[in-house]
Amino acid sequence: MANVPSAGLAAADPRVLALAAQVTESREQDIPLLLLKLKGILNSASLGSEESKKIKQDIYSYDLTQYCMLVLRQDHFRLHGGWAAAAQLAEILSHCCVGLEVKEDPEEFYKKFLPSAIDNLLVLGRRLQARFIRAIKDEEKQDFLHWFQTVTDAICWLFGGHVQLAACVLQNDHFLQLLITDDVETAVLMMSVLHNLLKVNSSVLLQVDEETLHSVLDELVYKLSSTTNPVIGNAATKLLVVVAKFCKQLVKLLTTRYKGLKGLLSKQWTGKGFDRDLSQLLDLLYVEQSNGKGEMQRQHQAACIIQAMWRGFQTRKRLKKLPQAVTTLQRSFRAKREQELQHLKKQKEDEALKLQMQLQRQRAMRLFHERQLALLKIIHASQVGKYMEEMEGKSALTIQRFWRGYRARRNFHQQRQSLKEYKAAVVIQRAACKFLEKRRRRRSLSPGKDPKRLTDEQRLALQQKVDDYIKLHPASQMSEERSKELHMQAQEKLAQFLLRNRLDQRAAQRRETLLAQVNTDVELLMNAPVLAETTEKDLDVFMSRSVPVATKARQSHNAMLKYTRWPWWKKLGDEFMEDDDIPDDDLNAELGTLFIGGRKSC
C-alpha cells in the first residue's frame, strides 16, 4: 500500500489522493493504465510553479513514483498498453523527479531512488532497442523508434534536472551497451544523449574510471573507422569536438591512444557535409601533436586503430552472445532444479507411502492379535488346543493359496509368449482361410468356358422334344385376377425372404461383434500385468471412459441388486423361464453388464 503522510493530509491534492487509492485497490494488470493519469495531473500545473512542486511532492509521498518504477521492471507484453504505456511511464517518472524537493530522508532519494530510476530507464531503452532491431515491418520500426526516443528524452530530462546523475549514467553498463550498436537511428540518439551529458556536466568524462572512458572513446573512434554513413560520422565528429573543447586533458589522450585518427578523418570524412566540425577537430589534434613523426610512430598509430577495431568487434561479439548464453544457462539451471525438486517430491511420497503401509500392517497385526486374545479369553480351556489347530489349518490353507496363485501367475507369464504366437498363428490361418474362400467364390461366379455349339440335327431333335412335352402337358388357362393374386403372393414371399435374410445378416454381424469383443477381452486379460506390478495406467484399460456405458452398467447393476432383494413369491415365475424365452431387451441389458472396458460401446 502507498505510504500516507501523517502531516498535511488535508492539503494533499485530491486527484493524487484518489489515484493512489485506485492504484492500491486495483489489480496488477490495471495499474499501468491508472498511472498514465499522472501525465494529465502534471500538465495541469505550470512547470516550476509552487503548485507543480506540491503535486510532485504528493506523488512521491504516496509512492506513485515507486509504482512507476515497479511497472517499468515488469514484462511489457503482459501490460495493458504494452511498450507505448512503458514509454509514457518513463516520461512521467522523469518529470516527477525533476523539480522535486524531498525534505524527509533526502539521502534515500538522491543515492538510492534516482540511480535506480536511471537504471530502470536504461534497461527499458535496451529492450526497445532490441525490439527495434528485430522488427520487420516499417510501422513497427517507426513505433519502436518513437518510444525509444521518448525514453532517451526522459533520461536526458532526468540527469538535466539532477546533474549528479551524469556520472551515474555514464558508468552504467546498460548505457555502454546501448551505445555499442550498428543501428544508425538508435546510435545517433545515444550519441545525442552523450552530447547532452557533456553539456550538462563538461567534466563528467574525468569523473569516471579509466576503463569506462576508454570504452566510450573506443566506440566513437570505431564508428568513424567502420562506417561510411555521414549521419554517424557527423554525430561522432561533433562528440569528439565537444570532448576536445570541454576536456582539454583528453586531447592528449586522443592523440596518443589513436595515432591514426587524423589521417582517418582527413581521408575518409572530408567533403561529407560537416567539414567545419571536422576541421575544428583536426586543428585541436594537430595542436597537441608535433609534426615530425617517423615510420615507427605511423606503425604504432596503425596498430592502435587495429586494436580499437578489434576490441570493438570482440565487444560486439561478446554482447551478441551474452543473451543466448544467459538464456541457455537459466534454462539448464531451471530444468535441473525442477528435476531435483521432482526427485525429492517422489522420494518423499515413496517414503510416506512406505511408512503408511508399515503402519497399516502394524495396525492390522495388532488388531489380529487383539481379536485372537479376545477369542482365547472367551473359549474354554479345553477348546484352546482345538482352536489353535483350526487356526494353523487356516493359515496353511492361506499360504498354499497364495503360493499356488503365485506359481500360476509365473507359469502364465512364462507361457505368454507362446500364447501370443498361438494367437498370431490363428489370426494368420483365419486370414488365409478368408482369402481362399474369396478366391473360390470368384471362381464359382466367373463365367465358364463357352459350351460346344450344337449341330443342326441336335437342335431339331431338342426342338422336337420340347414340342412333344408341350403337347403332353398343355398349359392351363388362368384368369387375370388369379395371375395378379399369384404375383402378389410371390412378392410377399420375396419380401419375407429378403427381411429374413436381412435379420440373419444382422444376427451374423452381431455374433461377429460379440466374438471380436470376447477376443478383445481375452487379449486384455492375457496381457494384464501381475497384481504387484499393476499401475493406474493399467487400470484405465479396464475402465470405461464413456459416460453412457458407465451409466448403463450402473443401471444394470442396480436392477440386478433389486432383483436379488425381491421376496421369494415374486421370483416364482422366473424359475420356469426357459433360456430361449428371454426377451431381447433383457438380453441386451445382461450383455451390457458383461464388460465396461475402454472398447465396449452400447
Instruction: List the CATH number of the domain containing 53.
Output: 1.25.10.10
> How far apart are alpha carbons 525 and 591 in whole angstroms?
18
| CB atoms inside a 10 Å sphere around CB 394 | 10
Q: Which of 366, 393, 410 is the last residue of a domain?
A: 410
| CB atoms inside a 10 Å sphere around CB 154 | 24
- Provide mean pLDDT across the span 246-259: 77
Instruction: Note whether 384 and 240 are same-domain residues.
Output: no
Between residues 410 and 74, the one the model is more confident about:
410
Per-chain mean pLDDT for the chain: 80
**Global pTM?**
0.47
> How far apart are alpha carbons 173 and 302 in whole angstroms?
29
- With 70 as the cut, is the pLDDT of residue 416 above it? yes
What is the rounded radius of gyration, in angstroms, for the C-alpha atoms of the chain? Answer: 49
HSE-CB of 385 using CA atoms within 13 angstroms? 1
Which of 30, 103, 100, 106 lies closest to 67 in space, CA to CA? 30
> How far apart are alpha carbons 200 and 202 in whole angstroms?
6
Look at residue 235 and tell me if it is in a domain: yes
* Least confidently predicted of 153-157, 270-274, 486-490: 270-274
- With 50 as the cut, is the pLDDT of residue 43 above it? yes
C-alpha cell, 490: 410371390
Please give the pLDDT value at position 379.
Answer: 75
Q: Which of 196, 230, 247 is the last residue of a domain?
A: 247
> How far apart are alpha carbons 418 and 531 in whole angstroms?
21
Look at residue 466 and tell me if it is in a domain: no
| CB atoms inside a 10 Å sphere around CB 538 | 13
The number of domains in the chain is 3
Residue 281: Cβ-neighbour burial (10 angstroms; 0-12, 13-18, 19+): buried
Look at residue 336 and tell me if it is in a domain: no
**CB-based contact 22:34 (threshold 8 Å):** yes
Please give the pLDDT value at position 590.
Answer: 41
- With 50 as the cut, is the pLDDT of residue 481 above it? yes
Structural domain boundaries, residue 405: 379-410
Please give the pLDDT value at position 535.
Answer: 78
Look at residue 154 and tell me if it is in a domain: yes
Instruction: Note whether 213 and 67 are same-domain residues.
Output: yes
Q: Please report, rounded to a whole number, the percentage of residues in the chain having pLDDT higher than 70.
A: 87
Q: Which residue has cell 498535511? A: 8
Q: Which residue has cell 530444468? A: 335
Residue 94: Cβ-neighbour burial (10 angstroms; 0-12, 13-18, 19+): buried
First CA to last CA distance, the chain: 61
Look at residue 602 and tell me if it is in a domain: yes
> How far apart are alpha carbons 191 and 509 in whole angstroms?
85
Question: pLDDT digit string (tens) for 73-92?
Answer: 776 655 556 788 888 888 88
Sorted by sequence, the CB contacts under 8 Å of residue 598 that are 6+ apart come out as 540, 541, 542, 543, 544, 545
Which of 191, 158, 157 lies closest to 175 in space, CA to CA? 191
Phi, psi of 591 (to 5 degrees): -65, -30
Q: How large is the angle between the packed helices 384-414 and 295-378, nearest 10 degrees?
A: 140
Q: Which of 230, 247, 264 is the last residue of a domain?
A: 247
Q: Which residue has cell 525509444? A: 148
Look at residue 484 and tell me if it is in a domain: no
Phi, psi of 437 (to 5 degrees): -65, -40
Please give the pLDDT value at position 104.
Answer: 76
**CB-based contact 23:51 (threshold 8 Å):** no
* Least confidently predicted of 11-25, 326-340, 437-451: 437-451
Look at residue 24 and tell me if it is in a domain: yes
**CB-based contact 71:79 (threshold 8 Å):** yes
Instruction: Note whether 406 and 518 are same-domain residues.
Output: no
Tell me the CA distances in angstroms from 333 to 321, 324, 337, one per residue in order: 18, 14, 6
Which of 285, 204, 205, 221 lies closest to 252 in space, CA to CA? 285
Look at residue 574 and tell me if it is in a domain: yes
Question: pLDDT digit string (tens) for 159-203?
Answer: 888 888 888 888 888 888 888 888 888 888 888 888 888 888 877
